[in-house]
Amino acid sequence: SKVLVTGANGYIAAWVVRTLLEKGYAVRGTVRSEAKGTHLKKIFADYKDKFETVVVEDITKEGAFNQAIKGVNAIAHTASPFHFKADDPQELIGPAVNGTLSVLKSALNNSAIRRIVITSSTAAIISMLPDRKVFSEVDWNDQAIEEVKTQGKNASQASKYRASKTLAEKAAWDFYKVSNTNRSWDLVVLNPPYVFGPLIHDISSPSALGTSAGDWYNSVVRPDMGGKTIEAITTVGGGWVDVRDIALAHVLALQKQEAGGERLLISKGEFVYQDFIDVANALSPSPIPSHTDLPKGSPGAGKEFVPKIVYDPSKASRILGPELVYHTIEETTKDTLADFERRGW
């Protein structure tokens, strides 16, 4: 069967496409311009008959996906802005919400489509609380929506992004509920935290890295470039998951009957960057022989850090099954550094 992957040139999406192709699916990837599909065609040249791209210039337009969805049996919707540079929160909220609704609307009355998976985020789950809390699929980040509503442009960058993800996911579930008579598909939503790991999409330099991979590079490899202090490296973190695992989770979410109608939090565990730095320095042989100056930070300090936000990913493991085995921090660190080394970064 054939899967439409939106925003196929993105960090996560390129891995979703690759995993789907490796598992025998045909894939149509949407990109915003022909040029953004060139690299994908190159890396998936072995799958010439099974991989194609289609240009969807503006995902927020009514009917934007009407052509793109023809002949597909499932959709993975990943396209959404992820950056901390928005002035007006609508720069993020507009494409996040309207892009999602546009995909779902195009998929109505199309009986070939059996399932839609949306890449949401733990951004749509967490809130900043004074005490430690274990978050799961029952939690919603109404706090970010509220902050953006009351503070507008003055809301924090993190809250602007988090509000966009929360509002987009809420819009998806609301639409799903009211459209239950004229759709043949069900919906699965995945909620990953920070996604790290090697890149296969088109990135020419470290400064062009996306938000999560860029933050990892600026913390674990070049904290001097990222302006990261020891304090930031030892006390600021979150949850993380390897990009290859969240990609596999997208495929499993398309396959598992029981996933239909579910929200699934996908997380390997909590981290501060010091944890990755310690692992990077302990790897032997070093995957980056050309670097003799890996930062040390404050070795071991990560072990003393008690995260306030903790994730419970047990529901996803139960529903997606034993095939979802998370990469370890050692594996992710080694493969990411080896990838950077190959690129001469």
Interaction site with ligand NDP (CB under 6 A): 7, 9-13, 32, 36, 59, 78-82, 95, 99, 119, 121, 165, 192, 194-195, 210, 212
Q: Which of 165, 170, 268, 334 is catalytic?
A: 165
Report the candidate in 303, 169, 278 with the shortest Cα–Cα distance to residue 220.
Answer: 278
Pick the closer one to ligand NDP by CB: 15 or 25.
15
Hey, what are 335's tokens?
A: 């493969």
SS3 letters for 6-34?
ECCCCHHHHHHHHHHHHCCCEEEEEECCC
Q: Smallest distance from the beta carbon of 280 to ligand NDP, in angstroms?
A: 19
**How far is 192 from 239, CA to CA, in rounded Å?**
8
- Please, which residue, 13 or 104, has the CB nearer to ligand NDP? 13
Q: Smallest gap, in angstroms, from Cβ of residue 79 to ligand NDP?
A: 4
Q: Which is nearer to ligand NDP, 81 or 89 (CB)?
A: 81
* CA 299/CA 234 separation, integer angstroms: 9
Q: What is the 8-class DSSP label of residue 17?
A: H
Q: Which segments of the chain are extended strands (E)?
A: 2-6, 26-31, 51-55, 74-77, 115-119, 133-135, 186-191, 194-196, 237-242, 263-265, 269-272, 309-311
Nearest distance from residue 286's CB to ligand NDP, in Å? 26
Closest CB to ligand NDP among 13 and 337?
A: 13
Q: Shortest gap between Cβ of 10 and ligand NDP (angstroms)?
A: 2
In one-letter notation, the amino acid at residue 61 is K
Cα-flanking dihedrals φ and ψ of residue 80, to 5°?
-175, 140
Residue 216 burial by CB count (10 A; 0-12/13-18/19+): exposed, middle or buried? buried
User: Measured from the CB of residue 213, what is the shortest distance to ligand NDP in angstroms?
Assistant: 7
Q: How many residues does the chain have?
A: 345
Q: Which is nearer to ligand NDP, 9 or 110 (CB)?
A: 9
Q: 302 with 272: CB under 8 angstroms?
A: yes
Helix (H, G, I), strand (E, B) or coil at 242: strand
- Nearest distance, CB of residue 278 and ligand NDP, angstroms: 21
Closer by beta carbon to ligand NDP, 119 or else 301: 119
Q: How far apart are CA 144 and CA 126, in angstroms?
A: 9
Least separation in angstroms between CB 91 and ligand NDP: 8
β-pair partners for 119: 190
Distance between start and end Cα atoms, the chain = 39
Residue 212 vs 336, nearer CB to ligand NDP = 212
Structure token digits, residue 59:
């995902």
Residue nearest to ligand NDP (CB): 10
d(CA 189, CA 174): 13
165 is catalytic: yes
Task: List active site positions.
Answer: 165
